[in-house]
Amino acid sequence: MARNQCPLALALLTGLLLMAPTASFGQYMYLDTNGNGVNDVADIINPSGSTTVDVWLKTNANRSGSVATCPSGGLLSLISYEVLLHTTGGTVTWGIFTNYITQFGTTLGGDSTSATDYRAGRGGGGYLAPGAYRLAAVNVAVATGNPFLSIVAQSSLGQEYATQFGSECLGVDFDGTMRLSRDWFDVDGAGNRTVWIANGAPACTSAGTQEKITMVPDGLGGTILAWEDLRAGNRDIYIQRLDSRGHPLWPIDGVAVVMNTADQVAPRVMSDGAGGAVVAWTDLRPGLGVEDIYAQRVSGLGIPLWPSDGVAICTASQSQRDPALATDGSGGAIVAWSDVRGSEANVYAQRVDSLGATQWTSNGVPVVVTTDPQYGPEMVSDGSGGAVVIWTDYRTGNLTGHGDLYAQRLSGSGATQWTSNGVAVVTAPGDQGLPRITASGNGGAIIVWQDGRGQAYSQDVYAQRLDASGTALWPTDGVAVCTAAISQTIPDAASDGKDGVFVAWVDFRTSPAGDRDIYAQRIRSDGTAAWTTDGIVVCAASGDQGRPRMVVDGAGGTIIAWDDPRSLSRDIYAQRLSGGGTARWAANGVAVCSATGSQTLPMVASDAAEGAIVAWVDERNGNKDIFAGRVSPQLGTPITSVAAIPVPGSQLAISHNRPNPFNPRTEISFILPSGGAVRLQVFDVAGRFVRTLVQGSMPLGTHTVAWDGLDGGGRTVASGVYLARLEQGGKATARRMVLLR
């Protein structure tokens, strides 16, 4: 690819760049199979015969059509190009490649192919003005499956390859090369994209049982799922990525994260921030009932990045089980688990970096070690490279079987930040358990749990908020979310984005005369209830509704999914609530799946467009499979066509940072055109990661976040030029900031 060979010119242009107003790059590369010059629902791969696939590039506009400019003031011209194509869901036979840019008569690096990947590059012959260009065409024929053809940033053909083009615009690396997923982000592929279907699309229908789903958003409107899988006779861990259209981006029926003769169970998954995921699980490979903790990272292309069968997080004596995960903000993860290396089960933790290397003491650092047992850790990132951990603790109730809840904060280096062995979240009479945790403020957390302090054999729901120092901000032993008659169980929680929390639970208040229902409540940042005392009814249909799971909708409200037997067999239903507690969809929820057989144990993830993707265990085929569906934000109806898929707006922007230059603090204001997953990070001028300021779901609108001139480890950074980079829904924009100490 073209490179700027003149150091003096590079220095001068770099100086101009630092003084120029910041604008986002906005290129768009797409595939066209029907010859109309655009990417639309008619761009499919013919199931038989050959398909001519045109590759187009707009150097001066993005997918939405908005104009792109170069921050340096240079032209977004075209000097050369390199494109990587990748198939998912099947394989193809690659045919003739035709270069349509006749000036580019030089083959760059040699063309390469495999059953799933293609690489070609051309250059030479001078500059082409900014505009839209049909770069090339390649003929493909389906060999196996139902392939979807994507443009990808990297390829298994070689780490040296990338989708990119040479330009007079320098790009973020100042080398005149505009790289996909670094300088620009908008791409569209071709294939059968009407995949979301009534009653859900299959994520895995392999032989044997698939269950114990865990899922996260992929950051681009799709989702990543992991599950336990018995296709080989024992329990393995598999993973799959579905795009916003429901198309599997990785091999049909998933990628084996770990597959050996022992059982692997209890997977947990989190996004790695780059289109892939980190998965942790309990591993029985030692034999004789001994359990260890392992983890694996899978790239955005579905390729395991760490050693085969995973990295050992803890292989201490006795058993370790039930891992919890939180991002470290740098592509790695913090893992916590229950550990029986001593006389009782305690809680330990370990950090693993983006390359799979453990960072703390071998076999983990102790989070809590007492002579009484602790179980079931849950965890959330503290936003500074560390995490807040919550667990059920029997130090004061071991003889009576009554559990309390304790919490601890770990720094990025593994040091405990709060009282030794944790701060008490609740030590009220009775049993407290099933904690759920969400982030709150800068380094704090909100914990929601099932609470037995009331009448014998009844359960209620309580919550507590901790600040960054571990101090309880709400009344001792928590605030009552619901203390209605009989019992309330199995709570779930989601941050409301305002240091409060949404809570949903299974409610028995109408039993035994009635059925179990789904209720919800919102607790404000001050611990007061925002909705009706003891919550609002989400679903009171006939039958016993079970295990709600919830996610924020990106517009100030929440979406809740549950399994529901109102039609005799269990189905999957969902409801959307506004921030004020108003049901946005039909009374008692909308059917996400009402197929034959039972559908149970739903999980839910944001689709970055105010709707949600729901996944569940499905028995329509006689055994347990994994299916998923996407619900629209307006009516909650399942999306069954590409035309119905909501597309987030395109005017993602960082409006300013003030002051600029600054010392030591600046406020970064940015605009989100839609609610959903968002990430705001700081990099230095060389492109090295400095700190994550925002990572999570936020509502649409204008937001302001402060940066105090510290990196993710709390260290003061030097004077210089820094880049604030904002990402949402597959788009990104950046602004340069000058720190003068």
Output the six-digit token pair for 494.
């989601």
Burial bucket for residue 740 (CB in 10 Å: 0-12, 13-18, 19+): exposed
Residue 447 per-residue DSSP state? E
Average pLDDT, the chain: 86
> Which 3-state string (H, E, C) describes 69-107?
CCCCCCCCCEEEEEEEEEEEEEEEEEEEEEECCCCCCEE
| Each residue's pLDDT tens digit, 285-316 | 988 889 999 999 998 878 899 998 899 999 99
584: closest CA among 521, 647, 637? 637
State yes or no: pLDDT of 238 exceeds 60. yes
User: Looking at residue 198, what is its pLDDT?
Assistant: 82
| Residue 514's pLDDT band (cuts 50, 70, 90) | low
| Each residue's pLDDT tens digit, 191-200 | 765 457 789 8
Identify the top-confidence range among 13-22, 525-534, 676-685: 525-534
- Average pLDDT estimate for 501-513: 88
List phi, psi (to 5°) of 194: -85, 70
| Each residue's pLDDT tens digit, 37-93 | 888 767 888 888 899 999 999 998 877 677 877 765 678 899 999 999 998 768 899
Count the neighbouring beta carbons within 10 Å of the beta carbon of residue 511: 14
Q: Give the residue, 407 or 647, on which the prediction is more confident.
A: 407
Poorest-pLDDT segment among 170-174, 323-327, 343-347: 170-174
User: How far lies 56's CA from each of 36, 101, 130, 185, 690, in Å?
Assistant: 11, 11, 13, 14, 35
Share of the chain above pLDDT 70, in %: 90
Output the six-digit token pair for 608.
């970055």
Output the six-digit token pair for 670.
């940015």
Note the maximum CA span of the chain.
83
What single-letter amino acid sits at 178?
M
Vertex 243 angle, CA 705 and 93, to 5°:
135
| Each residue's pLDDT tens digit, 445-467 | 999 999 999 877 789 999 999 99
Poorest-pLDDT segment among 87-96, 320-329, 515-524: 87-96
SS3 738: strand
State yes or no: pLDDT of 20 exceeds 50. no
The β-bridge partners of 590 are: 574
| Residue 545's pLDDT band (cuts 50, 70, 90) | very high
The β-bridge partners of 733 are: 726
Vertex 11 angle, CA 10 and 14, to 5°:
85
What single-letter amino acid sits at 619?
E
| Residue 397's pLDDT band (cuts 50, 70, 90) | low
Output the pTM of the full model.
0.70
In the chain, what are the domains?
A: 7-188 (2.60.40.680), 653-739 (2.60.40.4070)
| Each residue's pLDDT tens digit, 623-673 | 999 999 999 887 766 665 444 444 443 467 786 777 878 888 888 878 787
Cβ(155)–Cβ(161) under 8 Å?
Answer: yes
User: How far lies 198's CA from each of 274, 553, 637, 644, 718, in Å?
Assistant: 30, 22, 10, 13, 55
User: How far lies 731's CA from each of 190, 221, 491, in Å?
Assistant: 20, 11, 34
In sequence order, what E strands does 328-373 have?
A: 333-339, 346-352, 365-368
What CA–CA distance (Å, rounded) separates 227 from 241?
12
Integer-rounded Cα Rg, in Å, for the chain is: 26
148: closest CA among 126, 107, 116? 116
Q: Give the residue, 272 or 526, on which the prediction is more confident.
A: 526
State yes or no: pLDDT of 731 exceeds 80. no
User: Looking at residue 594, what is its pLDDT?
Assistant: 93
- Average pLDDT estimate for 678-706: 80
- Average pLDDT estimate for 535-564: 94
Q: Give the residue, 218 or 456, on which the prediction is more confident.
A: 218
User: Looking at residue 5, what is its pLDDT?
Assistant: 31
Share of the chain above pLDDT 90, in %: 56
- Average pLDDT estimate for 261-280: 92
User: Looking at residue 301, what is its pLDDT?
Assistant: 78
| Each residue's pLDDT tens digit, 477-487 | 999 999 999 99
Count the neighbouring beta carbons within 10 Å of the beta carbon of residue 96: 9
| Residue 389's pLDDT band (cuts 50, 70, 90) | very high
Instruction: Count the alpha carbons within 13 Å of 329 in the hemisphere toward its beta carbon.
Output: 25
State yes or no: pLDDT of 173 exceeds 80. no
What single-letter amino acid sits at 62?
N
State yes or no: pLDDT of 138 exceeds 90. yes
What CA–CA distance (Å, rounded) separates 737 from 707?
11
User: How far lies 328's CA from each of 149, 280, 331, 407, in Å?
Assistant: 33, 14, 7, 18
Vertex 188 angle, CA 144 and 278, to 5°:
75
Residue 637 per-residue DSSP state? P
SS3 345: coil
Poorest-pLDDT segment among 513-522, 575-584, 730-739: 730-739
Poorest-pLDDT segment among 126-130, 174-178, 225-229, 262-266: 174-178
State yes or no: pLDDT of 427 exceeds 90. yes
User: Looking at residue 70, what is its pLDDT?
Assistant: 79
Instruction: Count the alpha carbons within 13 Å of 208 in the hemisphere toward its beta carbon.
Output: 14
In sequence order, what E strands does 553-621 have?
A: 558-567, 569-577, 590-593, 599-606, 612-618
Cβ neighbours for 35, distance < 8 A, ≥ 6 positions apart: 52, 54
User: Looking at residue 522, what is its pLDDT?
Assistant: 98
| Each residue's pLDDT tens digit, 154-168 | 888 887 899 999 998
- Average pLDDT estimate for 104-108: 93
Output the six-digit token pair for 385.
């490279």
